[in-house]
Amino acid sequence: MTSPTPLVDQFQRRISYVRLSVTDRCDLRCTYCMPERMTFLPRREVLSLEELHKLALGFIARGVTRIRLTGGEPLVRRDMIELVRALGRTIGAEGPQGGLRELTLTTNGTRLAEFADDLFAAGMRRINVSLDTLDRETFAKLSRRDSLPQVLEGLRAAREAGLKVKLNTVALKGVNEHEIADLVGWAHGQGFDATLIEVMPLGEVEEDRIDHYLPLTGVRETLEQRWTLTPSEHRTGGPARYFDVAETGGRLGLITPLTQNFCEGCNRIRVTTTGQLYACLGGNERVDLREALRSDDPQARLAEALDTAMRIKPERHHFAITEPGAAPALSRHMSMTGG
């Protein structure tokens, strides 16, 4: 019996990284991410934890070495830690394509205090935490929830548990631009890496995203008036470009989907909580893995679906925020796609 072939797209990019959404639900309502009255998916449409596990094993068999669990907010899903434990057992495992090298998580941090020790015990060593402000009033306005104290408590718990933390901050004009430098400095002082992200035009929200679009080219110029930023050789295979900050001793990442395309080295695909594999965050190219998993021959159908995904993965995304009132680049919200 021949071994499954690695995932390689039509542009000869090897796909080794999967962002796997376990839920579209979230306990925050960040204004740039979703409307206050968000309609969530019926549970029957969401993959079971068993299906998510089978899917992950299928990816690992095709050479995927990194899986990031996302949402929505992944830690709000009941018994999600059991999936983490199951996937953690594949880290370093032997096999035709090897096992996982890394299992990570993106979270808003509200439930980290409860789960940080369990995540570390299950084999997770690194997490990303979304945090756009250290001001409690701004946090409450931006997320529509007064949850900053819980997030800060979760960050302390993660650090004490031994998890390496990277803070992800969406740069928002008129909202947090005045405190970005202080937030980065605080993160580095806590021993956390920091990454800044340009707002992405995904899904309809109440506000016009052009009002809050803050190009990171200008943010970088502002930061360089305060600190010495040196391009770093650090690479993750992801979209961030990294800089070492001499004065803080920390690392800063910039993710610039609008001002600088970063697709030439893309090594990832995203799977929604309903099992839709999106070959590109900024595109509609997709294949239905849920249908394959629930078919009479899931192994063969899944293999076919993954081969199709490699053929349809585009060369690049086409995000743009250019004029007031423009429709989002894609109608689906980030919480639907997997953050």
Would you list which residues are annotated within the binding site for [4Fe-4S] cluster?
26, 30, 33, 263, 266, 280
CB under 8 A, 24+ apart: contacts of 290-298: 290/47, 290/51, 293/47, 293/51, 293/54, 293/55, 294/51, 298/54
H or E element at residue 286:
strand 286-288
Residues at the annotated binding site for S-adenosyl-L-methionine? 32, 72, 130, 200
Residues at the annotated binding site for GTP? 19, 68, 106, 166, 268-270
Rounded Cα gap, residues 294 and 277, in angstroms: 15
Residues at the annotated binding site? 19, 26, 30, 32-33, 68, 72, 106, 130, 166, 200, 263, 266, 268-270, 280
H or E element at residue 20:
strand 17-21
Bridging pattern class, strands 164-171 and 193-198: parallel
Rounded Cα gap, residues 214 and 178, in angstroms: 11
CB under 8 A, 24+ apart: contacts of 53-57: 53/83, 53/86, 53/87, 54/293, 54/298, 55/20, 55/271, 55/275, 55/289, 55/293, 55/302, 56/18, 56/20, 56/87, 56/90, 57/90
What are the backbone dihedrals phi and psi of residue 264, each rounded to the nearest 5 degrees, phi first? -60, -30
